[in-house]
Structure 1
């Protein structure tokens, strides 16, 4: 919860989302994304925060690019775990979590 609160404080209205904010939101999900199982509550809170800070389409596209860049840094991320994360957390995302997503669409 502390990470989510800090990230929300960092987001200022009218400013575009940054990769740092996206990374902070999803950092607690790395163990789930690489090992599978069930995502932690902190991971799901981070995902909820990511949805909150990316309402405009431009921010969703930027966040999508950040997610793809982060996935490239972690080659052992399981694609099936990434794609199922929103469902497992009960969060309807407008940002696909996948290396192969075309963020321009």
Structure 2
């Protein structure tokens, strides 16, 4: 009987751990990529192009999601990693926030210092 109670408690703990970790609202790299995926064409295009409405919506959603310093650092690190793997147009990346009428707490660049 005692072993059954311990086993039942262990099962309950194992079932509740994913719920506890998913209740935190920490931003993930998958979230960041999802927000900025509509911007890929713009970020790799020739200078002078304009971001799509869906790109601006995604960038604004990222801004709204990255509310804590930890979120902003995580988003920054993700952007830095992804920016190194695509042929990023630095001017378009720099202009994205202003072209969308928003401010971001970080740049989109492969050379970011995410500690600041």
Q: TM-score, normalised by structure 2?
A: 0.76
2:102 pairs with one of 81, 91, 94: 91
Q: 2:26 maps to which residue? A: 16
- Aligned-residue CA RMSD (Å): 1.2
Structure 1 residues 12-60: Cα deviation after superposition (integer angstroms, max 9, x where no partner): 7632100000000000101101114000000000000000110101100
Q: Kindly tell me the number of residue pairs found equivalent between the two proteins.
A: 93
Q: Equivalents in 2 of 1:13, 1:90: separation in Å?
A: 31
2:71 pairs with one of 59, 64, 71: 59
Q: TM-score, normalised by structure 1?
A: 0.83
4+ aligned runs moved over 6 Å, structure 1: none
1:81 pairs with one of 78, 92, 108: 92
Contact kept, 8 Å, 2:66 with 2:72, in 1: the verdict is yes
Q: 1:38 maps to which residue? A: 50
Unmatched tracts of structure 2, length 5 or more: 1-21
Unmatched tracts of structure 1, length 5 or more: 1-11
Larger radius of gyration: 2
Contact kept, 8 Å, 2:76 with 2:114, in 1: the verdict is yes
Relative to its length, the structure with more helix (as a share) is 2
